[in-house]
């Protein structure tokens, strides 16, 4: 029989980006406690080799497992692309990634079959999104663009600075020329740039990310159900970082609507 609530769920990312997935999980899944690990000592993951990212993911999993988690979410596209299958094979608890949920969201959103994808060098180079989308529909036209400068800007909380807008404009040029109707935010950090992105692309382009589809999947698979009332929502979030990150607490408070964000710095390697 499936339990009525999840006692503890582990979630990790290289930094602040995984909070976009945490937000959806808190809204959708009855969980007592989320244990979040942001690997701020080693962010960004996007330009690291697959072997390094797999090693980081294993180390973080061992840390999260010591907190008696019942499931784990790899809330990072780069880590999902490189390490999800390894973690799923090695760990005894269910492990969720963010790429399949992002693919599902993109397929549900597109009407003209032209989809832009922005992500890290690792995620775009791995072809994980391209392969998964084309496997479902080989007629899709995809415009993948690696956007490596965005994660450091987001970690700096430069969400609406002029320099950030200029960099995004440059990155989006091939996407704007391609008449896409959907843009996949294939990095969990990028939903924090949604206001700038939607201002730039206008209403005709739907921005999709993995957060909600990932939350739905976690709830359905671990419990066979989603939250039914406000009081059922996640009660607590424990935040661990591998190095102090000056803007993390503020962003977590703003984005998750927390009154306080108590952060503990830990070593996982």
Site residues (CB under 6 A) for ligand DGL? 13-14, 17, 43-46, 76-78, 120, 123, 151, 187-189
6-13 sheet: strands from edge to edge: 95-96, 71-74, 6-13, 31-38, 236-241, 263-265
Angle at 123 between CA 122 and CA 129, to 5 degrees: 155
Phi/psi for 8 (5° steps) reads -145, 135
76 an active-site residue?
yes
How many other C-beta atoms lie within 10 A of the C-beta of residue 263? 17
Q: Which is nearer to ligand DGL, 127 or 235 (CB)?
A: 127
214 an active-site residue?
no
State the Cα–Cα distance between residues 69 and 159, nearest whole angstrom.
32
Q: Which is nearer to ligand DGL, 154 or 223 (CB)?
A: 154
**Which structure tokens are listed for 34?**
């989320």
Q: Distances from the Cα of 266 to the Cαs of 31, 82, 86, 97, 144, in angstroms?
A: 23, 24, 24, 23, 35
Instruction: Single out the catalytic residue among 143, 187, 212, 222.
Output: 187
Least distance between ligand DGL and beta carbon 186 (Å): 7
CB proximity list for 49: less than 8 A, separation 6 or greater: none
Least distance between ligand DGL and beta carbon 131 (Å): 17
Q: Which is nearer to ligand DGL, 45 or 63 (CB)?
A: 45
Instruction: Single out the catalytic residue among 19, 64, 76, 151.
Output: 76
Q: Which is nearer to ligand DGL, 13 or 261 (CB)?
A: 13
Least distance between ligand DGL and beta carbon 260 (Å): 24
Phi/psi for 114 (5° steps) reads -110, 120
Q: Which residues are catalytic?
A: 76, 187
């Amino acid at each position: 029989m499936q339990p009525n609530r999840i006692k503890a769920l582990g979630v990790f990312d290289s930094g602040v980006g995984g909070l976009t997935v945490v937000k959806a999980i808190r809204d959708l899944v009855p969980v007592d406690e989320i244990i979040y690990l942001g690997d701020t000592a080693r962010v960004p993951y996007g330009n690291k080799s697959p072997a390094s990212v797999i090693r980081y993911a294993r180390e973080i999993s061992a840390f999260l497992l010591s907190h008696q988690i019942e499931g784990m979410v790899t809330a990072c596209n780069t880590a999902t692309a490189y390490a999800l299958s390894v973690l799923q094979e090695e760990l005894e608890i269910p492990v969720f990634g963010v790429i399949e949920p992002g693919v599902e969201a993109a397929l549900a959103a597109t009407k003209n079959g032209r989809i832009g994808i922005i992500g890290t060098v690792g995620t775009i180079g791995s072809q994980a999104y391209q392969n998964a989308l084309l496997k479902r529909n080989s007629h899709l036209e995809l415009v993948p663009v690696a956007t490596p400068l965005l994660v450091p800007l987001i970690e700096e909380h430069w969400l609406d600075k002029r320099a950030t807008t200029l960099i995004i404009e440059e990155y989006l040029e091939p996407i704007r020329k391609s008449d896409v109707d959907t843009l996949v935010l294939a990095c969990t950090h990028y939903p924090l740039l949604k206001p700038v992105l939607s201002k730039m692309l206008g209403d005709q382009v739907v921005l999709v990310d993995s957060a909600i589809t990932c939350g739905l999947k976690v709830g359905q698979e671990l419990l066979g159900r989603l939250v039914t009332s406000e009081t059922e929502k996640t009660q607590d979030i424990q935040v661990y970082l591998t190095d102090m990150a000056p803007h993390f607490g503020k962003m977590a408070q703003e984005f998750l609507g927390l009154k306080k964000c108590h952060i503990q710095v830990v070593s996982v390697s």
